[in-house]
């Protein structure tokens, strides 16, 4: 049972900007490359110029040329140790962005050996370990640079990296390191669901709701929504009543109230689910996920012609496929849960899309 999704999704392609009469950034970069190339012909020993040229190639996405420029620099004799360290650092970044992770790691270790540790180098190594699936090493490195949410995230990834096995000790370590970690609570709750330890689970969810940011509390209910994958028997009916009471005592939160309604509907509590979705609409009358749920809940009570019922069900199904989540920082829309925005790389910025036109 895995609730963690990949944070290294590929970015979408933006539409080209409308013409403003000004040179396009790509044209500016190309002009700068031409200028630097001419300057290097006149002064081929200028390390700074060559390094700047490599940076421009990388900025344009021409990683092969960036690596070629940097490799040529690294092989020059009589370079200062400081220049060597900087060149290997940039070369490591080039290799990393090109997906050549082993070479990137070798270059970054060489940079560290030559120039000693630095915050930029340590952070680049942390990102590299994460890209390469070395989650435990990534966690330790992120902790070293003070990126605690990321360190906890990759402890959770390390805990769940083996098929069918979850390292509970690493999950506890993640919660000790960063108690608000929604990833750690999510996986811990998922384990408790699998075990069928319902009384302990209720207390655990209560602790989790007080620990995570209020706008992320809805994530803790996701393992309960995926009940078709449970290995344990269903909890007793009064368990859901206890959960609803506990959430009712939380400060009002639109996403949490909506998710509670979804959970109750998923387990057959139609009247209670309707009440919770109506609560969501009291907080925000334009909240379309609650309206979609209420329409779904009311369908069995409607007297519809077969053709109209079929068309309405098609529309409902299309509505359920709409991307429900968005990044609160950059607005990227996603269908699945994410913990780090694939576009702007903001952590724990997930939110429900409240209005379809957002």
Range among 215-229, 295-309, 321-335 rated most confident: 321-335
pLDDT at position 42 is: 64
Strand, coil or helix: 6:
coil
The residue extents of the domains of the chain are: 30-131
Do residues 331 and 358 lie in contact, with contact meaning Cβ atoms separated by under 8 Å? yes
Q: pLDDT tier at 36 (50, 70, 90 boundaries)? A: low
Residue 246 has, within 13 A of its CA and on its CB side, a CA count of 20
| Residue 341 to residues 5, 97, 289, 334, 337, Cα–Cα distance (Å) | 11, 18, 21, 9, 10
Q: Mean of the pLDDT values across residues 156-175?
A: 90
Q: Interhelix angle for 254-266 vs 237-248, to 10°?
A: 170
More confident residue, 350 or 19: 350
In the block, tokens 């209005």 appear at 355
Of residues 228 and 47, more confidently modeled? 47
Spatial separation of the C-alpha atoms in residues 127 and 135, rounded to whole Å: 10
> For the ranges 50-54, 77-81, 94-98, 178-182, which has the lowest average pLDDT?
50-54
Hey, how many other C-beta atoms are within 10 angstroms of the C-beta on 347? 15
Predicted confidence at residue 4, as pLDDT, reads 43
Over residues 57-73, the pLDDT tens digits come to 888 888 998 899 889 88
- Specify which residues 326 forms β-bridges with: 333, 351
Is the pLDDT reported for residue 17 higher than 50? no
As a 3-state breakdown, the chain gives helix, strand, coil percent values, each rounded to 5, of: 65, 5, 30
CATH of domain 30-131: 1.25.40.10
Mean pLDDT of 244-250: 94
Instruction: Tell me the sheet residues that pair with 334.
Output: 325
Compute how many other C-beta atoms are within 10 angstroms of the C-beta atom of residue 303.
5
Mean pLDDT, range 222-238, rounded to an integer: 73
Position 176 confidence tier, pLDDT thresholds 50, 70, 90:
very high
The DSSP-derived string for 292-325 is HHHHHHHGGG----HHHHHHHHHHHHHHHTS--E
Tell me the C-alpha distance between 96 and 103, whole Å. Answer: 8
Q: Write out the two tokens for 340.
A: 């780090």
State the pLDDT at residue 317. 78
The Cα–Cα gap between 172 and 169 comes to 5
In contact, 276 and 283? CB cutoff 8 Å = no
* Beta bridge mates, 333: 326
Cα gap 167→154, rounded to integer Å? 13
Task: Please tell me the distance from the alpha carbon of residue 76 to that of residue 83, in angstroms, as a whole number.
Answer: 11
The three-state secondary structure class of 334 is strand
Per-residue pLDDT, averaged over 318-337, amounts to: 88
Task: Give the number of other Cβ atoms within 10 Å of residue 246's Cβ.
Answer: 15
């Amino acid at each position: 049972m895995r609730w963690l999704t990949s944070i290294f999704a590929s970015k979408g392609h933006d539409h080209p900007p409308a013409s403003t009469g000004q040179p396009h950034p790509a044209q500016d970069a190309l002009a700068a490359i031409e200028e630097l190339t001419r300057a290097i012909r006149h002064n081929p020993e200028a390390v700074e110029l060559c390094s700047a040229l490599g940076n421009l190639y990388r900025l344009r996405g021409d990683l092969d040329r960036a690596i070629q420029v940097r490799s040529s620099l690294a092989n020059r004799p009589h370079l200062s140790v400081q220049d060597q360290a900087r060149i290997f650092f940039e070369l490591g970044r080039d290799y990393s962005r090109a997906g050549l992770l082993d070479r990137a790691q070798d270059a970054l270790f060489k940079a560290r050996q030559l120039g000693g540790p630095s915050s930029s180098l340590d952070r680049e190594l942390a990102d590299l370990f994460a890209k390469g699936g070395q989650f435990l090493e990534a966690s330790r490195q992120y902790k070293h640079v003070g990126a605690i949410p990321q360190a906890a995230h990759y402890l959770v990834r390390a805990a769940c990296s083996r098929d069918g096995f979850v390292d509970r000790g690493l999950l506890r370590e993640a919660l000790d390191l960063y108690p608000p970690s929604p990833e750690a609570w999510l996986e811990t709750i998922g384990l408790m669901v699998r075990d069928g330890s319902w009384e302990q689970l209720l207390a655990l969810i209560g602790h989790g709701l007080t620990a995570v940011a209020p706008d992320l509390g809805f994530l803790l209910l996701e393992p309960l929504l995926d009940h078709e994958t449970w290995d344990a028997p269903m909890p007793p009916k009064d368990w859901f009543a206890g959960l609803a009471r506990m959430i009712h005592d939380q400060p009002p939160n639109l996403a949490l109230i909506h998710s509670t309604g979804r959970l109750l509907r998923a387990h057959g509590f139609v009247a209670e689910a309707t009440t919770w979705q109506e609560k969501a609409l009291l907080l925000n009358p334009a909240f379309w996920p609650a309206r979609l749920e209420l329409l779904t809940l009311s369908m069995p009570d409607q007297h519809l012609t077969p053709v109209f019922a079929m068309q309405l069900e098609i529309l409902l199904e299309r509505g359920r496929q709409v991307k429900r989540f968005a990044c609160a920082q950059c607005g990227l829309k996603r269908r699945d849960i994410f913990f780090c925005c694939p576009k702007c790389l903001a952590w724990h910025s997930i939110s429900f899309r409240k209005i379809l036109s957002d």
